[in-house]
Amino acid sequence: MHTYDRLFIGGTWTEPSEQDLLDIHSPHDRSVIGRAAQAHPADIDRAVTAARTAFDQGPWARTTPAERIALLRRFNDLREAHDDELAALVTAENGSATWFTTALQASLTPQFNGYVKAAEEFGWEETLSPSDPAVPYRSVVRREPIGVVAAVIPWNAPTSSAYGKIVPALLAGNTVVLKVSPENSLSMGHLAGLLEQAGLPEGVISVLPADRGTSEYLVSHPGVDKIAFTGSTQAGRRIASIAGQQLKRVSLELGGKSAAVVLPDADIAKAVQGLKFSSLLNNGEACIALTRVLAPRETYEEIVTALKDLVESLTVGDPGDPGTFIGPMVRPDQQERVRDHIRLGIEEGARLVTGGPQVPAGLEGGNYVTPTLFADVDNSMRIAQEEIFGPVLVVIPYDDEDDAVRIANDSEYGLSGGVWSASTEHAMAVARRIRTGTLTVNGVPIGYDGPFGGFKASGIGREYGAVGLGTYTEYKTITL
């Protein structure tokens, strides 16, 4: 049993304003696996005040990029040494299978290195020569920190989401209040302890689990200069409206309903194997999951059959078992939401190929969903338009390449996508036509040097690499 009865505010473990601890339940069997203090508005006030003081009066914003890099390297080294504990905690809290949480932890150092490389090469201060030689002055362009950052992250991949915000924000010289989901109180409490060991100056960072009401209090706080949010599109719209009213800087990484386009020349076996990891990662609870599979009519039934075999082969069960591929949903309400969408797909007239709304036999005591595959899906159906956030795939037929691109783009979202083809050049040509922020070809992983983010209702702004780092800076021009 893990217990965190204090809150990490400004680098110090502090008594919470309210003493009641939240029970953290296992998604596997709904037992209590830990208890943790939760932040309330009074705690937010203390954290923002600490961050504001550290930014306005402390040394952090005036340190050099090299100094900040050195300190954050120390934190990353500590985190690497605790990857096993962090992965186990996320598995216990979220129900994410061990294979996924282990891979998630392994991805953090490449993500970190991408930010550090960007910081080392970043144009923190550059002198511009006048475009007209007759002009007797020059301009110095600086990239300075924005100030206090409210970073709000979801529960589904907490360590990766935390890294995607606190690393660039701190590298740029900002101070941060990291608001995490109550479900992740244990893993993020452990991460907070590593930040404490790294030795950041007083006030520079707080890590606070809190509910949605307290999250809104944080992003509305007058002491906050920038909001960085990952979560649902509905919540993102609310945050964008708050930012607009207060003219705060804002970046939003939101939902997705991404398409996987299998071209006629693709190797079907390789495409289906790739979809195992790009469509069903993290129990399907992933914004980047490729849950709309677009298949050519000439090989449609062959692809459906191959996907049926794949889905039925997946081991569902205890996420702590190394042999498990699909674990439980994070909470009972999420379990019911996914099951409701499966029922909806049946009502809409889609062909239920395998799976269904029933709970897997022997797993009734947890938040489990049977992995489900629908075929003969029209892209106008709700199961093809709404983000289900569970192990549910839909297969949509297309007539030709233009039709495939049209269907892929017929979505309010534009976060991720994939193209499978025997020809990289052909896949690239199709990928260029799809309106989404990130695409992969033949199932390769997403990289961390290029920007990541969404078109349309999938967000505003980008993360990773130099572009992601730049979103935590302001331009200042000094003319001499």
Q: Which residues are catalytic?
A: 253, 287
Q: Is 247 left (phi over 0), alpha (psi -120 to 50) or beta?
A: left
Find, among 270, 196, 259, 264, the residue nearest to 440 by Cα: 259
Cα–Cα distance measured from residue 319 to residue 400, given in angstroms and rounded to the nearest whole number: 40
Find, among 96, 444, 456, 93, the residue nearest to 285 by Cα: 96
**One-letter amino acid for residue 472 of the chain:** Y
Q: What are phi and psi of 324, to 5 degrees?
A: -80, 135
**DSSP states of 236-254:** HHHHHHHHHHHT-EEEEE-
Unique residue bearing structure tokens 């078992």: 321
b/e 389-419 (16+ beta carbons within 10 angstroms → b): bbbbbbbbbbeebeebbebbbebebbbbbbb
Tell me if 69 sits within 8 A of 116, measured CB to CB. Answer: yes
**One-letter amino acid for residue 138 of the chain:** R
Cα–Cα distance measured from residue 156 to residue 183, given in angstroms and rounded to the nearest whole number: 9
**One-letter amino acid for residue 248 of the chain:** K
Contacts of 91 (CB under 8 A, 6+ apart): 97, 98, 101, 319, 320, 327
Cα–Cα distance measured from residue 85 to residue 89, given in angstroms and rounded to the nearest whole number: 6
